[in-house]
A and B are shown apart, each in its own frame.
Chain A
Amino acid sequence: MSEQPVIKADNLSLTFETNDGPVQALKDINLEIGKGEFVSFIGPSGCGKTTFLRVMADLETPTAGSITVNGVSAREARMARAYGYVFQAAGLYPWRTIGGNIRLPLEIMGYSKADQTERVKQVLELVELDGFDRKFPWQLSGGMQQRASIARALAFDADILLMDEPFGALDEIVRDHLNEQLLALWTRTQKTIGFVTHSIPEAVYLSTKIVVMSPRPGRIADVIESTLPKERPLSIRDSPAFIEIANRVRDGLREGHGDG
């Protein structure tokens, strides 16, 4: 299978103009993400991992270099609704029910009424929220809200899922559970996933590829291909292979800090 990469960044740089002068958020990023990969971006704050995800989503525009998504520009990919985006906070609209929130992208993209109802039902089952479609977001716990926001990003036919620290604000137990669910979901849907995180275990547990980034300017310090099998119970986190990868990630992070 020699397919073209889903995401390809070529010498990509991004400089923000701020009141204190220009800030280089990303510098000479070169990266390819293949179809069906689960790629984590990890690094300290200010390393540009979120910015890079936003560049893929055409929410930021690079100032140098280029990026292609599905072989076209990021903007064209956005207009073709190529990806679903999950933000740090659930960001559900409080005036809509859970079902209404998931229906929102479907309405905008012009899916038929019957199709909307069917899809809402499907994705709610997928994130184990069936029966909650008539509740309002503020009646649900933080973890359930975040699951609903994932369901919202899954409801339409986008083959890329971009997630920006989706579980950052949740406690450890909920997080483990959602990580497991996310892996199962990824196996079932065959989506390409870009995932930003602060947590080394989370990155190693989830990913087929881990991109370690370092700050000032934001750049890629290391790219680690995971050797873990696709089938991953939570207990895999105690295996020697897991710990070895985690150590390599930690070294990458430390190096980034050392010469910074």
Chain B
Amino acid sequence: MIWIVGVLVFWAVAWVLNLRMARMEASRFTAFAVPALFGITLLLLWEGIVRGFEISPVLLPPPSAIAVTFSQNIPTLWGDFVQTFVKGALSGYIIGCSAAVLTAIAVDRSPFLQRGLLPVGNFVAALPIIGLAPIMVMWFGFDWHSKAAVVVAMVFFPVLVNTVQGLQASDAMQRDLMRTYGASYPQALLRLRLPAAMPFIFNGLKIATTLALIGAIVAEFFGSPIRGMGFRISTEVGRLSLDMVWAEITVAALAGSAFYGGVALIEKSVTFWHPSQRRAR
């Protein structure tokens, strides 16, 4: 009982505090403190309710238990992270995205490919990953190669579509200008079409970061060596150690956020000129 009351009191105090801060002039401190306080409150509410109502740890372990498990299993979690994120997701992401951009340039040059390849790509994108993953495991084996293959299949299409669209983003006048210079196709591509396409390409790349992580984790459910985030989640669920599952989820959330943030940061420096990115400069 004391847990529930205590947590409700903390919630009320944090609420009032956040309202005050939100009304204050925006500064670096409030920009950080408001969401931080909100997150802390959520975690404490979770902790208090789980303890207060004595919820079984199989249903929902308290955050403190998850934190303890996390800190005790850092080598395991790190190994899983390297296996799934670095080897599976990241390599698949890089291969898939580069292939998509190159294909988009080919599609852009050839109306035949535009009519032939885009519908096929659409069809592949519609294939459910659950069906695709076991096939990839059969083809490429249990290790990370099959996971990378699933990731390639998942990220390829969104990046392709965005890049194709981006390559058409330069306006007629800008293209006419290139013509008046007598520019060759590669010159116009490098100096006009690709820079103009960057905001679109990065849209695709950002969507692809989350897809890559999901793909790599889910693919491990269909066969993997005895490490990897997906493998750990499925086996630990079987052993009812949900705290370990939650620790893996924490790793996935952190890795996913950092991945997305990293790509967004690169986007910011590449497309600083775009109206959506222009601010202090």
Contacts and interface: CB of A to CB of B under 8 A. Distances in A.
A109 B180 contact: no
Given A78-B182, A79-B182, A81-B181, A87 B191 contact: no
Given A89-B173, A107-B191, A95 B182 contact: no
B180 A83 contact: yes
Contact of B180 (A85, A93, A95, A136): A85
Given A93-B174, A138-B278, A109 B181 contact: yes
A95 B192 CA distance: 10
Given A94-B274, A107-B191, A87 B181 contact: no
Contact of A138 (B177, B192, B195, B273): B273
Interface in B237-281: 271-275, 278, 281
Given A59-B180, A78-B182, A87 B195 contact: no
A84 interface: yes
Nearest to A81: B182
A89 B54 CA distance: 69
Given A107-B191, A108-B191, A136-B273, A91 B173 contact: yes
Nearest to B182: A79
Interface residues of B, number: 22
Given A78-B180, A78-B182, A95 B173 contact: no
Interface in B163-191: 173-174, 176-183, 187, 191
Given A79-B182, A81-B182, A108-B183, A95 B195 contact: yes
Nearest to B270: A95
A224 interface: no
B180 A84 contact: yes
B51 to A, nearest CB: 55
B268 to A, nearest CB: 13
A79, A84, A138 — most chain B CB neighbours (10 Å): A138
B39 to A, nearest CB: 37
Contacts of A136: 273, 281
A140 B273 CA distance: 13
A196 to B, nearest CB: 14
A105 interface: yes
A105 B177 CA distance: 9
A206 to B, nearest CB: 22
Q: Is the interface of A mostly helix, strand, loop or mixed?
A: loop
Nearest to A94: B273
Interface in A121-149: 136, 138-139
A58 B182 CA distance: 10
Interface string A44-84: 00000000000001110000000000000000001111011
Nearest to A97: B273
Contacts of A95: 195, 198, 271-273
A87 B182 contact: no
A62 to B, nearest CB: 16
A107 B192 CA distance: 13
A57 B278 contact: no
A221 interface: no
B179 A78 contact: yes
B182 A93 contact: no
A213 B64 CA distance: 82
A104 interface: yes
B276 to A, nearest CB: 12
B191 to A, nearest CB: 6
Contact of B177 (A58, A78, A81, A85): A85
B177 A91 contact: yes
B192 A93 contact: yes
A138 to B, nearest CB: 7
Contacts of A108: 178, 181-183, 187, 191
Given A78-B182, A108-B183, A87 B177 contact: yes
A81 B187 CA distance: 15
Nearest to B187: A108
A177 B192 CA distance: 32
17 contacts: A57-B180, A59-B179, A59-B180, A84-B180, A85-B177, A87-B173, A87-B176, A87-B177, A89-B173, A93-B192, A94-B273, A94-B274, A95-B272, A104-B181, A105-B181, A108-B183, A138-B275
Given A95-B271, A104-B191, 7 more contacts: A59-B179, A83-B180, A85-B176, A91-B174, A94-B274, A138-B278, A139-B281
- Across chains A and B, which 9 residue pairs bring their CB atoms closest together, nearest first? A94-B273, A95-B273, A85-B180, A79-B182, A105-B181, A91-B173, A108-B181, A95-B195, A108-B183
Interface of B: 173-174, 176-183, 187, 191-192, 195, 198, 271-275, 278, 281
